[in-house]
Amino acid sequence: MEATKASHSAAADGSEKRPPVTSKKALAGTGGRKKYLPYLIVLPALVLTLPVLVPFIQSIYYSMTTYSLTNPVKHFIWFENYVWLFTDPEFWNSVRVSFVYAGTSVGIELLLGLLIAVLLNQETLLSKIFRPLLLLPLMIAPIIGTLMWKLMMSPEFGVLNYFLSFFGARNFQWASAAKSAMFSVVMIDVWMFTPFIALILLAGLRSMPAPPFEAAMVDGASRWFIFKNLTIPMLMPFIIVAVVFRLIDSLRQFDIIFGLTKGGPGSTLMNFQVSAYTTAFTYTKISDGSALMMINWLIVYVISMFLVKFWRKSQDRLS
Amino acid sequence: MATSNSNSRKRKIFFQKLVVNILLLVCFAFLLFPVFWVTSMAFKSHDDILTWPPKFVFKPTLENFQNITTAVRTYRVGAVSSDFLKGFGNSLLVTTSALVLSLLTGIPAAYALGRFRFKGRNDIAFTFLSFRFAPELLVIIPIYLIFQKIGLYDTFFGLVWVYQLITMPMVIWILMSYFEDVSVELEQASLVDGFSLFHTFRRIILPLAKPGIAAASLLAFIYAWNNFIFALILGSSKVQPVTVSALKFITAEKLRYGDIAAACILAAIPILILSLYAQRYMVRGLSLGAVKK
């Protein structure tokens, strides 16, 4: 699976900057036989994982056939499934759902994560107590975390509606109503993954050199000015790493949506993966499910390629 | 003058800290409340859960934990096998085996990719990374069909193999970043002294890369344990891990609140213990080496 070569070229660039200090003389130059050594060492890991390319290629093939579990006769129909997909409102619905979901959750997570990172970077009693606890939501399995929220979101007995009742709201339907379903899953995503962004940004804040900040303070720059013109630009590479990971992961989110509503009510939450799961396994249309996943993969690929370029730029600007 | 000035400065710092603490309290109330609430729910009796307003003070009971660890329970509508402990064992077995396999093959691979310059190095490294970022269903749909054909569906081996897609990229990418940090001079010295590459690797490089191996193992284990979609599709009953068996308590009949809460807590405990150890490797591990701390 060349799945994310895109994201790679970014990382590749990163690694080129700090080349492995390979001393060719010492390691590879001791004989012609040594030339094959690295390949030999990598081989077992490749043999173990590369067979996955077979299903990947098969996926491409299936996406161009009429294959379904109930009718296993495969007719090769080239791109007809794709053409059909592009005229299907359900497909455009899943595109919209995926992007709204990923966009809003990553956007909120970035802002909240930045706030939490800045707060935890201060030396106060609570920041010391809370720092190790930041990991908690992130480490719990997404499906388990979702079940936990499902218990709290119950319209009849859920504790969240109890809190809402203080503000006069009654019988908020959470995931059971189309209106609030997206809000509910985004809230779970924000709870689960804000710590991821906060953690990386906190590491970024802590790695910053003191002199530029001291100089700005001496010059009498305001806190906001320093934050906007010094902290944020220096934090940019960290922000981008966090956003790349989060954006890709949320565009292929499955556990949260499946765990909470299985894509419902109706098709309100049918994003790419949940929709592909339903198409392939509930409606047994392997071909359409595969076509959907090919498109999902392409989108992830293109976005990661774009972000990786952006990452390189921000790193270049720093150095 | 001087004292009033320093007094007002002290006051300013005090208020700053107060604001920081209040904001932290708000943020962490949101982040920690679900864990607190579900833990308390796991120790509530059925009646205590289904009351309005919700009870914050109650008489704790182990009833829910007993429910989910008993092999078969009869409900009003037929018997539901809620063999949660078996799921727990499956998770442990599959995750550990997948990790061991990834470490055995991945540690040398990461070393070669991090140390040697050779043609195709970047391509190989990125192929491993792509497993981490590709949408899972892209390969699971065809794997599901292949596994059914060749008899690997719902088997231990099938699942351990597929879990390589989770554990291998983490092991390789996290370790690559650690191997790059190990001093080459030591390595060269050992080679110049006439020790074989294998000896040098085992006696010098491996011990130096220990923190990397710890980081990679902990994170890969956590991610594999937490995985849901692979086992949902490829392991229906025999090899069901906790993440899938926890879903069983959502029956058509009703949400079994107490059981679900207890299942969530049991499934999360091993991971929370491990993540305590993993704290200091977390940033570097989660970013697959992109952020070195």
What are the pLDDT digits (tens) for A164-189?
888 888 788 888 888 899 999 999 99
Q: What is the mean pLDDT of residues A195-209?
A: 93
- B17 occurs within a structural domain: yes
Least Cα distance to B125 among A319, A203, A314, A20 occurs for: A20
- CB < 8 Å to B268, chain A: 139-141, 144
The residue with tokens 């989060």 is A246
Contacts of residue B150 in chain A, CB cutoff 8 Å? Answer: none
Nearest CA in chain B to A282: B233
Determine the distance from the C-alpha atom of residue A27 to the mean position of all C-alpha atoms in its chain, rounded to a whole number: 38
Say whether both B138 and B238 belong to one domain.
yes
B112 alpha-carbon distance from chain centroid: 26
- Sign (positive/negative) of CA torsion B242, B243, B249, B251? negative
* Helix H or strand E segment including A252: none
* Facing B134 at nearest CB: one of A3, A41, A141: A3
Are B24 and B165 members of one domain? no
Phi and psi at residue B80, in whole multiples of 5°? -115, 120
Alpha helix stretches (DSSP H) within A67-169: 80-86, 89-120, 125-130, 136-139, 142-152, 159-165
**Which residue of chain A is at minimal alpha-carbon distance from B274?**
A139
Same domain, B49 and B114: no
| Residue from A37, A62, A147, A184 to probe the interface with B (highest B Cβ count within 10 Å) | A147
Put simply, the answer to whether A4 touches B130 (Cβ < 8 Å) is yes
A142: nearest CA partner in chain B: B226
pLDDT category, A299, cuts 50, 70, 90?
confident
Using CB atoms, which residue from A122, A136, A273 is nearest to B31? A136
Question: Would B293 be classed as within a structural domain?
Answer: no
Based on the fold, state whether residues B54 and B159 are members of the same structural domain.
no
* Domain shared by B169 and B31, yes or no: no
Say if the Cβ atoms of B108 and A18 lie within 8 Å: no
Which among A5, A195, A272 has the least Cβ separation from residue B31?
A195
Q: How confident is the model at residue B4 (pLDDT cuts 50, 70, 90)?
A: low
Nearest to A26 among B101, B191, B228 (CB): B191
Please indicate whether, in this complex, the C-beta atoms of A141 and B112 are within 8 angstroms of each other.
no
Structural domain includes residue B190: yes
- To test the contact with chain A by mutation, choose from B92, B116, B292 the residue with the greatest count of A C-beta atoms within 10 A, namely B116
Instruction: Please check the confidence at residue B200 and state whether its pLDDT lies above 50.
Output: yes
Tokens 């809000």 found at:
A183
Question: Per-residue pLDDT tens for B9-68?
Answer: 888 888 888 999 999 999 999 999 999 999 999 999 888 888 878 888 888 888 888 877
Write the pLDDT tens digit of every residue in A117-161.
Answer: 999 999 899 999 999 899 899 999 999 999 999 989 988 888 898
Identify the pLDDT of residue B107.
Answer: 94
B46 and B106 inside one domain? no
What is the identity of the amino acid at B61? T
B138 or B96, which is more confident = B96
Nearest chain A residue to B47 by CA distance is A157
Identity of the residue in B17, B261, B283 whose CB atom sits nearest the CB atom of A199: B283
Is residue A235's pLDDT more than 80? yes
With a cut of 60, say whether residue A7 has pLDDT above it.
no
What DSSP string runs through B69-112? HSSEEE-SSSEEE--HHHHHHHHHHHHHHHHHHHHHHHHHHHHH
Domain that holds residue B261: 84-286
| pLDDT exceeds cutoff 50 at B158 | yes
Mutate to test the interface with A, among B52, B137, B179 (most CBs of A within 10 A): B137
Q: Is B122–A38 a contact, with Cβ atoms under 8 angstroms apart?
A: no
| Res B203 pLDDT > 90 | no
For residue B3, the distance in angstroms to the closest alpha carbon of chain A comes to 22
CA distance A271 to A253: 8
Contact B286 A1 (CB under 8 A): no
**Neighboring chain B residues of A41 at a CB cutoff of 8 Å:** 108-109, 111-112
Residue in B with minimal Cα distance to A53: B139
Q: What is the pLDDT of residues A16-31, one digit of tens each?
A: 344 444 444 444 444 4
Give the number of other CB atoms < 10 A from CB of residue B110: 32
Domain membership of residue B49 (yes or no) is yes
Chain B residues touching A37 at Cβ < 8 A: 112, 116, 197
Q: Do residues B159 and B220 both lie within one domain?
A: yes
Claim to verify: residue B107 and residue B249 sit in the same structural domain: yes
Q: Examine the domain organization and report whether B264 and B147 are in the same domain.
A: yes
Residues B176-189 have a mean pLDDT of 83
B50 and B155 together in one domain: no
Q: How confident is the model at residue A196 (pLDDT cuts 50, 70, 90)?
A: very high
Q: pLDDT tens for residues B231-287?
A: 999 987 788 888 888 887 776 566 678 888 988 998 899 898 888 888 888 888 888
- Is B128 contained in some domain? yes
The residue of chain A nearest to residue B144, with distances taken between CA atoms, is A55
Same-domain pairing of B34 and B138: no
Is residue B230 within 8 A of residue B140, CB to CB? The reply is: yes
Max CA separation in chain B (angstroms): 87
Count of domains forming chain B = 2
- Domains of chain A are 5-10+66-318 (1.10.3720.10)
B125 with A12: Cβ contact below 8 A:
yes
Nearest chain A Cα distance for residue B95, angstroms = 14
Whether B41 and B7 map to the same domain: the answer is yes
Q: Given B141, B243, B291, which is nearest A293 (Cβ)? A: B141
What average pLDDT is seen over chain A? Answer: 83
Across the interface, whether the CB atoms of B135 and A147 are under 8 A apart is answered no
Q: How far apart are the first and last CA of chain A?
A: 34
CATH number (domain holding residue B264): 1.10.3720.10
The confidence score (pLDDT) of residue A26 equals: 44
What ipTM was estimated for this complex? 0.88
As a whole number of angstroms, the distance between CA B122 and CA B113 comes to 8
Q: Is residue A83 within 8 Å of residue A170, measured between CB atoms? A: no
| A208 min Cα distance to partner chain B (Å) | 11
Contact call for B184 and A21, based on CB within 8 A: yes
Residue A4 pLDDT greater than 50, yes or no:
no
Winning range, highest mean pLDDT, from A107-111, A299-303, B145-149: A107-111
Give the pLDDT of residue A29.
43
Concatenated DSSP letters for A160-175? HHHHHHTTT-----GG
> What is the model's pLDDT at position B2?
56
Tokens of A199: 């953690």
